């Protein structure tokens, strides 16, 4: 009995994608709102493995192992995106990646064993085994890009939340500079003139960062916060206020010109 025609029709059935696409978009939006991006691939990969198994009838063990491998990659990227430079998180990240590689190889072996034991369908199984490796590689890069985008969204949200704090500091420095005829020479002088300590910026998953002040010239100053645990420095340069707070490895807050004394 030829079953190719009904199977082809099932692939062309649009009702399932029309239901799954909005549900997946809603899950993605909810996960990003809750700052839990790992939920998207964690749910998406098992569901995709189940759909492929139902449609192609390839090795169930191979598909299950493939889903587990991609889940391990997902949680490894989740750890990496939340580590924010913490070197102690490298060990579990590396362990999960090694585990994902081992499970992916086992998935390929499962496809080949199924092909050897069921010779009438061997071509389908061998093709599935041959496609498994590049699929895992592409999925790995897709997950990395997804977590990179989620991390950028988290940082943008944090910058917006703290905008009033550092804008008040910038206004204070500008007012003090106008009164003195120059910018404060050092952070200690700024703290004394303001009558309160430098603001502290909370940062997700790791801790807090003190805003640091540096005089660049008699009329120019820079503020910065961050470090390895924030994956870089965030800098404000009064000489280029149109840039706002920008990400940099080079702390512009270092004095490029020694402030002149009145």
pLDDT, one tens digit per residue, over 100-135 is 889 888 988 888 887 777 766 666 667 776 677 777
Q: What is the pLDDT of residues 138-174, one digit of tens each?
A: 777 788 777 777 777 777 777 788 888 888 899 999 8
Task: Supply the pLDDT for residue 254.
Answer: 47
Of residues 253 and 45, more confidence is placed in 45
Pick from 4-18, 152-166, 167-181, 191-205 the range whose average pLDDT is largest: 167-181
Sign of torsion over alpha carbons 33, 38, 39, 41: positive
What is the residue-averaged pLDDT of the chain?
75
User: Is the pLDDT reported for residue 95 higher than 50?
Assistant: yes
Q: 223-226 long-range CB contacts below 8 Å, 24 or more apart? A: 223/166, 223/169, 223/170, 223/173, 223/253, 224/251, 224/252, 224/253, 225/201
**Considering the entire predicted model, what is its pTM?**
0.55
**How does residue 83 score in pLDDT terms, banded at 50, 70 and 90?**
low
Whole-angstrom distance, CA of residue 222 vs CA of residue 9 = 64
Mean pLDDT confidence for 60-86:
80
Whole-angstrom distance, CA of residue 200 vs CA of residue 185 = 21
Of residues 112 and 15, more confidence is placed in 112
* 217 CB-contact burial (10 Å; exposed 0-12 / middle 13-18 / buried 19+): middle
């Amino acid at each position: 009995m030829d079953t190719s025609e009904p199977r082809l029709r099932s692939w062309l059935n649009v009702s399932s994608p029309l239901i799954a696409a909005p549900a997946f978009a809603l899950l993605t939006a909810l996960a990003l709102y809750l700052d839990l991006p790992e939920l998207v691939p964690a749910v998406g990969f098992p569901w995709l493995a189940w759909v492929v198994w139902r449609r192609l009838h390839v090795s169930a063990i191979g598909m299950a192992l493939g889903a587990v491998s991609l889940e391990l990659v997902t949680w490894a990227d989740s750890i990496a995106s939340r580590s924010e430079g913490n070197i102690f998180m490298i060990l579990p990240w590396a362990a999960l990646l090694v585990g994902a590689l081992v499970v992916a190889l086992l998935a390929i072996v499962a496809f080949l064993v199924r092909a050897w034991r069921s010779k009438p369908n061997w071509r389908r199984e061998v093709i599935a085994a041959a496609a498994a490796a590049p699929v895992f590689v592409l999925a790995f890069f897709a997950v990395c890009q997804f977590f990179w985008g989620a991390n950028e969204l988290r940082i943008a949200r944090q910058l917006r939340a703290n905008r009033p704090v550092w804008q008040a500091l910038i206004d204070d420095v500008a007012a003090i500079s106008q009164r003195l005829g120059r910018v404060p020479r050092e952070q200690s002088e700024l703290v004394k003139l303001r009558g309160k300590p430098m603001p502290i910026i909370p940062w997700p998953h790791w801790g807090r960062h003190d805003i640091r002040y540096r005089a660049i010239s008699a009329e120019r100053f820079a503020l910065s916060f961050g470090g390895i645990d924030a994956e870089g420095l965030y800098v404000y340069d009064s000489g280029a206020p149109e840039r706002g707070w920008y990400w940099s490895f080079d702390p512009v807050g270092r004095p490029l010109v020694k402030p002149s004394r009145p």
